Structure 1
Amino acid sequence: MRLAFMGTPDFAVPTLNALHEAGHDIATVYSQPPRRAGRGRKLTPTPVHARAEELGLEVRTPVSLKNADEHAWFARLELDVAVVAAYGLILPQAILDAPRLGCLNVHGSLLPRWRGAAPVQRAILAGDAETGVTIMQMDAGLDTGPMLAMAATPIADRTAGEIADELAVRGAALMAEVLASPRDFPREKQPEHGATYAGKIDKAEARLDFKAAANAVERQVRAFNPAPGAFFENGGERYRVHAARIVDREGAAGEVLDEGLTIACGSGAIRPTLIQRAGKPAMALDDFLRGNAISSGTLLG
């Protein structure tokens, strides 16, 4: 098929690779513009942009798709389909209507559960038992279009990063199957019952809420790994918690209960197992405590 690919982060790269490996005619790749990153604040292309250039594909990086010139350019591509994976820009109706088969999206949830920007993180925070990936036809709504294919996976004790990596690969394979034989994947209208919204993650949400139950705090740790990173503060310094386990202890919320950094929650307690002090590498708890002891009785926030 002749197609355009639209994606930005690492999550989208496996789908681009799958489309290229399947031999589709990728007319162009859309990605968000390069942004300044790193110590030197150098303009850095997105993961999709970088991979597309490695594959010798044309890349377009408009700030917006709202202008008529961009609509006209897109229409002139005479596409069979546009494939979208975590692109990050709203597609106007003129873009949605231009390809012969419309625009198909790789969405990281079991729709209609968790429509929106952060489905994996929200599923973990909510304590969902499973999540997954859905191939859907895009319409003017927010992840409301008909579904073509779906695959589920258990959440268990995995982090957002681990789950997203799996869904990226499974979504790529599903999209390749759909494009190989589109008639085998009839469009199914989404039920409205059970629809929820996965709002964008605010960095302030990553502050550990020790007033909550220990299982909710532990889910915060997994939901915000790798980004933005769950944290607490002590003495004005921020400590990131990359992994933690639940401990059967009780105390005042936020209180350090022992010299092993067991932290009381609203009910139960947690103990970090991988922790990072500002400006330092992440360390296993025992290694961390050798030079960074936090005394029993300290109240953390």
Structure 2
Amino acid sequence: MVRIIFAGTPTAAVPTLAALIESSHEVVAVITRPPARAGRGRKLVPSPVAELAHTHGIPLIEAANMREDATCEAIAAIGAELGVVVAYGALIPQVVLDMPTRGWVNLHFSDLPRWRGAAPVQRAIMAGDARTASCIFQLEAGLDTGPVFSREEVIIGVETSDELLERMSVAGGAQMVALLDAMEAGTAASTPQDEGEDGAAITHAARLLPGEGFITFNGTCSQTDAHIRAFTSNPGAWTLLPEARRLKLGPVTHVDTQDLPVGCPPTAPSGTVHAARKAVYVACSDGWVALGQVAPAGKGWMDAPAWARGARLEPGTRLGASHQPEGEEK
């Protein structure tokens, strides 16, 4: 049995904590970030990891980081053999990394050294990667640089970042338990990350910024689709209507030319909207996509055809910039 101190915060960390609780190993304490304000009432809400720890009566340390003296003292007092991290949300200082006798391991949702950083799943989808991996590695001072103990390849389907992250987080629980079993048996081994010549294999997955969710429709259908799926649901994908009005976008569907309705040309300037009775099409650089759910400013989500009927779009309307319908003077 390995005595574990677990650090994690969001929903993606819950399956691993749950798997460890159900395993033959012992979770002796949990570290998570403090309650955050959420909902219309802006009430303080415990993290998903905190709620699971409360349910099982596991001692809880709520800390925004692990640099404060009181937090360090509380962690040291636990006397854990191994620290396990899944999406805690802050870097762990060296003094804390040195506390457990076996150090700390981190479940990271990318094929390291590709997509080191805060948003590996989103960046992989946005880049059009066909596959990724869940890696468990030894934490060290560098950002996601430690040797890898376990790697499970994952094929990326036509799914949003929410969907892919959920799938990987569920599988990651069993992956972590298997590693701890191997550690206990003395068979676990780690391999240095293959960074390539001069670090050519390294890419970084910076946290997504809301402004990066802007969809211009200037790229290909595949690029546009991947961009939107990467930003669904947080921080969200959006575009601009004429007069710079915002329109939130849900995932789109690539449409074959032969499936376009009568009156819709095979090609059109990027961002051109063609509203049919049952679908709303938008031109990209190499074809058309059909909008799914959309949300105009100040309104809830709705099917694109319902939005288009209410919006009374002018012929030639374009999305993606402050375009006016073709033929109108600016």
Normalized against structure 1, the TM-score is what? 0.94
Residues 73-130 of structure 1 deviation map (CA, whole Å, 9 limit, x = unaligned): 3222211101100001110001111111110111001111111100001001111111
Residues 206-231 of structure 1 deviation map (CA, whole Å, 9 limit, x = unaligned): 11122222211111111111211211
Corresponding residue of 1:147:
148
Structure 2 Cα separation of the partners of residues 47 and 208 of structure 1 = 31
Corresponding residue of 1:117:
118
Are residues 265 and 99 of structure 1, via their aligned partners in 2, closer, same or farther at CA, if it must alter by over 3 Å?
same
2:263 is equivalent to residue 263 of structure 1: no
Corresponding residue of 1:6:
7
Corresponding residue of 2:221:
214
Corresponding residue of 2:261:
none
Residues 43-77 of structure 1 deviation map (CA, whole Å, 9 limit, x = unaligned): 11111111211221122112221133432332222
Are residues 69 and 263 of structure 1, via their aligned partners in 2, closer, same or farther at CA, if it must alter by over 3 Å?
same
Are residues 223 and 7 of structure 1, via their aligned partners in 2, closer, same or farther at CA, if it must alter by over 3 Å?
same
CA drift at 1:290: 4.1
Structure 2 Cα separation of the partners of residues 4 and 257 of structure 1 = 55
Corresponding residue of 2:324:
none
CA drift at 1:276: 2.6
Contact 1:145 1:190 in 2 (8 A): yes
Contact 1:258 1:295 in 2 (8 A): no
2:227 is equivalent to residue 202 of structure 1: no
Are residues 281 and 223 of structure 1, via their aligned partners in 2, closer, same or farther at CA, if it must alter by over 3 Å?
same
Contact 2:119 2:205 in 1 (8 A): yes
Contact 1:213 1:267 in 2 (8 A): yes
Structure 2 Cα separation of the partners of residues 226 and 93 of structure 1 = 34
Q: Which amino acid aligns with 2:316?
A: G
Q: Please, which runs of 5 or more residues in structure 2 have no aligned partner? A: 258-265, 322-330
Residue aligned with 2:252, SS: strand
Higher Rg of the two aligned structures: 2
Q: Percent identity?
A: 36
Corresponding residue of 1:36:
37
CA drift at 1:265: 2.3
Q: Which amino acid aligns with 1:256?
A: V
Q: 1:242 aligns with which of 250, 256, 263?
A: 250
Contact 1:136 1:148 in 2 (8 A): yes
Q: Is 57-66 or 247-256 further displaced after alignment? A: 247-256
Residues 164-211 of structure 1 deviation map (CA, whole Å, 9 limit, x = unaligned): 011101111100111122133301111112121111101101111222
Residue aligned with 1:186, SS: coil
Corresponding residue of 1:165:
166
Corresponding residue of 2:240:
233
Contact 1:136 1:147 in 2 (8 A): yes
Residue aligned with 2:149, SS: strand
2:142 is equivalent to residue 134 of structure 1: no
Q: How many residues align?
A: 301
Corresponding residue of 2:263:
none
Residue aligned with 2:280, SS: coil
Corresponding residue of 1:27:
28
Structure 1 runs (4+) greater than 4 angstroms displaced: none
